[in-house]
Amino acid sequence: MKTATLTEIKKELKTLSEPELLELCLKLARFKKESKEYLTYLIFESSDEEAFIESVKSFIEEEFENINNHNFYLIRKSVRKILKNLKKFIRFSKLKATEAHLLLHFCDQLQQLRPSIKRNTTLVNTYWRQLELAEKAIEKLHEDLQFDFKEEVERLNNF
């Protein structure tokens, strides 16, 4: 089966009626959890970005609390899982300010993790890489927002 291009899909969607579009969206949501999560974001959470950021932050905090910290292998595995989910939420939003907020919060949580990540090179590299990505996102924001974020970045750079 040949996959249609986005322009072909867009043209075809314009010809469909509202009930047909609704049915297509529901079918799409049934197949993948990520599609359902994205539709949830678009329908319920995209209008209030601050509430979305807070809900993702609480999700991150909860996941960090549930990390099995008996050895660094399990910690690394859990951190990768948290980061994978975080990247998915960032992809949903597409706003650089949201990306910066969430990556800085992730770095803050990683910094507070016990046992300290300083004893594991992989976790330290993950920390610095995410902090670097947050700085790149901050550079693309308005100057006033950049100033607010730079203070947080400076605090996290003193790790």
Q: What tokens does 98 get?
A: 């949201």
CB 86, CB 96: distance < 8 Å: no
Give burial (CB, 10 Å; 0-12/13-18/19+) of 127.
buried
Among 10-14, 43-47, 60-64, the range with the most confident prediction by mean pLDDT is 60-64
Half-sphere exposure in the Cβ direction for 30 (13 Å, CA)? 6
H/E run at residue 15: helix 6-15
The pLDDT tens digits of the residues spanning 113-132 come to 999 999 999 999 999 999 99
Q: How high is the pLDDT of residue 31?
A: 86
Half-sphere exposure in the Cβ direction for 35 (13 Å, CA)? 9
Distance CA 82, CA 86 (A): 6
Half-sphere exposure in the Cβ direction for 158 (13 Å, CA)? 5
Q: How high is the pLDDT of residue 86?
A: 97
Residue entry with tokens 């507070």: 112
Distance CA 159, CA 118 (A): 9
